Structure 1
Amino acid sequence: MSTGSRAPKALLVVLGTATALVLSGCGAGGLQIRAGSVEPASAASIVITPAPTGEPVAPAARLVVKADAGRLTAVRVVGPDGPVEGVLSVDGRTFMVAGGKLDYDSSYTVEAEAVDRVGVPTRSTTILQTVAPSSFLGFTMSPREGAVVGVGLPIRLTLDQGLPTNSARRAFERTLAVRVDGEKVDGSWSWDSSNVVSYRPAEYWPGHATVTVTARLKGQRFTSKIWGQADRTLTFATGAAMVSYVDIQKHTMRVTRDGKTVKRIPITTGKEGFTTRSGVKVISTKEPTRLMDASTGGTLVNDPEYYRLEVKWAMRLTNSGEFIHAAPWSVAEQGKENVSHGCTGMSDANAKWLYDRSRIGDVVVYTGSNREMQPWNGIGLWNTPYDEWKAGSAFA
Structure 2
Amino acid sequence: MENSTYVQVRRRTIVAAVLAGVALPFGLTACQSDADSGAAGKPSASGTPSAPPATITVTPADLTGDVRPDAPVTVTAAGGKLTDVTVTAADGTPLAGAVDAAGTTWTSSAALAPATAYAVHAVATNTAGSAATRDSTLTTLTPTETAFPAVAPLAGSEVGVGMPVIVTFDAPVAKDKRSVVEQNMTVTGSPNPVAGSWNWRSDTKVEFRPEQYWPAHSTVHVGLALGAIEVAPGVWGKSRDIDFTIGSAMLSTVDIGAHTLTVTRDGEVLKTIPVTLGQSGSGGQFVTRSGTKVIMSLEKSREMNSETTGIGQDDPRYYNLDVKYAMRLTNSGEFLHAAPWSVASQGRANVSHGCTGMSTENAQWMFQNSKVGDVVTYTGSDRGIEPGNGFNVWNETYDQWRQGSALTA
- TM-score interval, smaller chain: 0.7 to 0.9
Deviation at 1:162, TM superposition (A): 0.9
2:39 aligns to what?
30
After TM superposition, the structure 1 stretch with the greater mean CA deviation from structure 2, 205-214 or 380-389, is: 380-389
2:125 aligns to what?
114
TM-score when normalising by structure 2 = 0.78
**Distance in 2 (alpha carbons) for counterparts of 1:336 and 1:83:** 66
Q: Does 1:104 align with 2:91?
A: no
Question: Any residues of structure 2 matched to 1:83-94 within 5 Å, and which?
Answer: 84=94, 93=103
Q: Does 1:370 align with 2:382?
A: yes
**Distance in 1 (alpha carbons) for counterparts of 2:345 and 2:244:** 40
1:239 aligns to what?
247
Letter in 1 for 2:307: S
Question: Any residues of structure 2 matched to 1:128-167 within 5 Å, and which?
Answer: 128-164=138-174, 166-167=175-176
Distance 1:31 1:78, change over 3 A: farther
1:337 aligns to what?
349
Deviation at 1:68, TM superposition (A): 6.6
Given that 1:42 and 1:122 are in contact with CA atoms closer than 8 Å, whether structure 2 keeps it comes out as no
**Distance in 2 (alpha carbons) for counterparts of 1:78 and 1:39:** 38
Given that 1:178 and 1:184 are in contact with CA atoms closer than 8 Å, whether structure 2 keeps it comes out as no
Distance 1:89 1:295, change over 3 A: closer
TM-score when normalising by structure 1 = 0.80
Distance 1:182 1:130, change over 3 A: farther
Deviation at 1:123, TM superposition (A): 4.9
**Distance in 2 (alpha carbons) for counterparts of 1:249 and 1:77:** 67
Deviation at 1:301, TM superposition (A): 2.0
1:14 aligns to what?
none
Question: Any residues of structure 2 matched to 1:159-178 within 5 Å, and which?
Answer: 159-164=169-174, 166-178=175-187
After TM superposition, the structure 1 stretch with the greater mean CA deviation from structure 2, 128-137 or 233-242, is: 128-137
5+ residue gaps, structure 2, are 1-37
**Distance in 2 (alpha carbons) for counterparts of 1:196 and 1:134:** 22
Q: Does 1:252 align with 2:252?
A: no
- From the CA coordinates, give the structure whose radius of gyration is larger: 2
1:310 aligns to what?
322
Given that 1:73 and 1:115 are in contact with CA atoms closer than 8 Å, whether structure 2 keeps it comes out as no
Letter in 2 for 1:349: E
Letter in 1 for 2:216: G
Secondary structure of residue in 1 paired with 2:366: helix
Question: Any residues of structure 2 matched to 1:53-72 within 5 Å, and which?
Answer: 57-61=67-71, 63-65=73-75, 70-72=80-82
Secondary structure of residue in 1 paired with 2:280: coil
Distance 1:254 1:63, change over 3 A: same
1:4 aligns to what?
none
5+ residue gaps, structure 1, are 1-28
Deviation at 1:352, TM superposition (A): 0.9
Letter in 2 for 1:264: T
Deviation at 1:146, TM superposition (A): 0.8
Secondary structure of residue in 2 paired with 1:193: coil
Given that 1:32 and 1:38 are in contact with CA atoms closer than 8 Å, whether structure 2 keeps it comes out as no
Letter in 2 for 1:139: P
RMSD: 3.3
Q: Does 1:347 align with 2:355?
A: no
Number of aligned residues: 364
* Offset from partner CA, 1:56-79 (integer Å, 9 cap, x none): 644455545455775444556576
Identical columns (%): 41
Letter in 1 for 2:242: L
Question: Any residues of structure 2 matched to 1:375-390 within 5 Å, and which?
Answer: 375-390=387-402
1:279 aligns to what?
291
Deviation at 1:306, TM superposition (A): 2.0
**Distance in 1 (alpha carbons) for counterparts of 2:303 and 2:83:** 75
* Offset from partner CA, 1:176-234 (integer Å, 9 cap, x none): 000111544221111122111111112222221111100112323333412335x3211
Quick one: which of 264, 269, 279 aligns to 1:261? Answer: 269
